[in-house]
Structure 1
Amino acid sequence: MKKRHQDIRDLVYVHLNQADQYVLSYGIEFAEFAAAFSGSLNHLLLLKHRFDDADFNMHTLLEYCPEERINNLAADDVYGYGDFCWIDFSDEDVLNELTGQEMAELLYLGHQKQHLKLPFYNKLENRFVYLAHDDGFFNKTYYRSFKDFFHVLSVAITDKLGALKLEKSLLGIKRKRSYPPINKEIFLSLTPFIKEGICISLRDIDLQRGRLEIPVWIIGDFASMDDMYEGYEQIVSEPSHAKIIFDKKTKEWKLHLS
């Protein structure tokens, strides 16, 4: 049974397909993606959406979100759109240069959530293609550079962690904490695991006096996130394959492989 919206915030699944340059994910929402690239995202050509403050391009007959309105889009109920698909582009003029073949490829992307050819277009200068159903529940994101993926993962995990209110003050009141971003070298070290498919579970954090430990399980390649979640429920009682550890004294992150 599909997990409800509130359930996707403290469990992250990522599976990296290096050959086709995309990542399947659960638990990372557009608002978190946009926050990771705050101020550096280009305009978004909206292939599937319900955003009511978009502009219209006559050549493609598609709507787009100008970069100055991306924060408004991120603040909207994107999860409630159902399908939410876009490709970024540098300037509206380049939309008018798209050929019929290229527009057909883009429409196919939005409709089928898979590519006919790798969806990186020099004229668009796009860094991403973002294909989601129930945003945060099933996301397929193409990355021109996987450095951007590791950046998203680092920022999203850290922001989620800060929102969990794990620590208590002297008065016993749970409070938010801010954590430094997890260094990308940790996720680079996890790349062989991520190629198999991993769960990073914030709901199963081991909170100790001097540190906190985030468990990571290799769980496999899933096209269905319902099946993935069932796999997580089966593996959660087993020892994790890795732990991402935050040392509260040194304020540093490190990785422990089991």
Structure 2
Amino acid sequence: MATEYIYVYLDSVTNHVLSKGMDMDNFQYSLKQTPKNILLLDAKKGVGEFESHTGFRIIRGRENVHRHFDECSKSPEKMSKWIDFESLELLRQLTPVEISELLYIAHAHTHLHSPFYYKLQNNFIYLTLPDAMTKVYYRYLDQYFTLLSLSLTNALTVKINEKRSFFQKPQEIKTIPIEMVKQLIPYLKEGALFSLKQLEVHGDSYDIPIFLAEDRLREVGNPFPEQDRLATICYNRGSGVWSIHETETLLARI
């Protein structure tokens, strides 16, 4: 089934992204390297191995982490909240206060101090939220822009091909350039909705409207009114070129 929408709210101060409509497959492909180890903040028994110092369950080794992500991709309900870490030795040096901070993050979905720990050397904190939302802290935000590029490209590819017959060859499209995705940052900071449900086709041009969603999460998934359109991101099937057409600047709305 084609993704109907992608919601993104970017906080560039704390380097976290609140999103909906992105799957684990795209997250994995966006990574330069699978995390070496992950600490599971709310894992069920039988997942990973119990680590006695922290009281959490962990998964060690890139192959095992990759396998866990694959299982979560096939069965999203298996996905737990996690934070990556480099060294088991340093993990076991966490103080009771630091361990309690991790418990707080898992419960409250926000950090008390820095979300990036010296002892863990973590690059991510991955939090699953109600209603299929995720909140992910990125040490390096460029990794998120790679994810958004893949997610939009793959969502449009599926959408274009959803009505093809069995005998037709699937159409492939070029990936949105990362630098173009970064041009969308002002919209992402306000809370943006990319609506594949309201995709427009004009000849060879496939146009994805971008709406100002802010914190109207209950409305995500429903058609948004035209007056909320901020811009349109377009893909020309003939030339293979992506472009962005601004409807109204955020400055004009203030």
Tell me the TM-score normalized by structure 1. 0.83
* Structure 1 counterpart of 2:14, one-letter code: D
Deviation readout 1:226-257 (Å, 9 max, x if unpaired): x242xx63624557321111122221211111
- Cα distance in structure 2, aligned partners of 1:25 and 1:52: 28
How do 1:192-231 residues align onto structure 2 when only pairs under 5 Å count? Answer: 192-222=186-216, 225=217, 227-229=218-220
How do 1:62-101 residues align onto structure 2 when only pairs under 5 Å count? Answer: 62-66=56-60, 67-77=62-72, 78-81=75-78, 84-101=80-97
- Cα distance in structure 1, aligned partners of 2:219 and 2:97: 35
Matched, 1:244 2:233: yes
Deviation readout 1:103-145 (Å, 9 max, x if unpaired): 11111111111111121012211111111125x7211111112
* Structure 2 counterpart of 1:156, one-letter code: S
SS at match of 2:54: coil
Q: Is the CA contact (8 Å cut-off) linking 1:206 and 1:214 kept in structure 2?
A: yes
Deviation readout 1:58-87 (Å, 9 max, x if unpaired): 221211123212332223255324x72111
| Structure 2 residues not aligned, in runs of 5+ | 248-254
SS at match of 2:144: helix
Aligned residues, how many? 244
Matched, 1:32 2:29: no
Quick one: which of 131, 152, 156 aligns to 2:127? 131
* Structure 2 counterpart of 1:35, one-letter code: Y
Tell me the TM-score normalized by structure 2. 0.84
Percent identity, aligned pairs only, is 27
What does residue 43 of structure 1 align with? 37
Matched, 1:12 2:6: yes
- Cα distance in structure 1, aligned partners of 2:173 and 2:94: 43
| Structure 1 residues not aligned, in runs of 5+ | 1-5
**Is 188-197 or 88-97 further displaced after alignment?**
88-97
CA root-mean-square deviation: 2.6
- Cα distance in structure 1, aligned partners of 2:143 and 2:190: 19
- Cα distance in structure 1, aligned partners of 2:161 and 2:202: 11
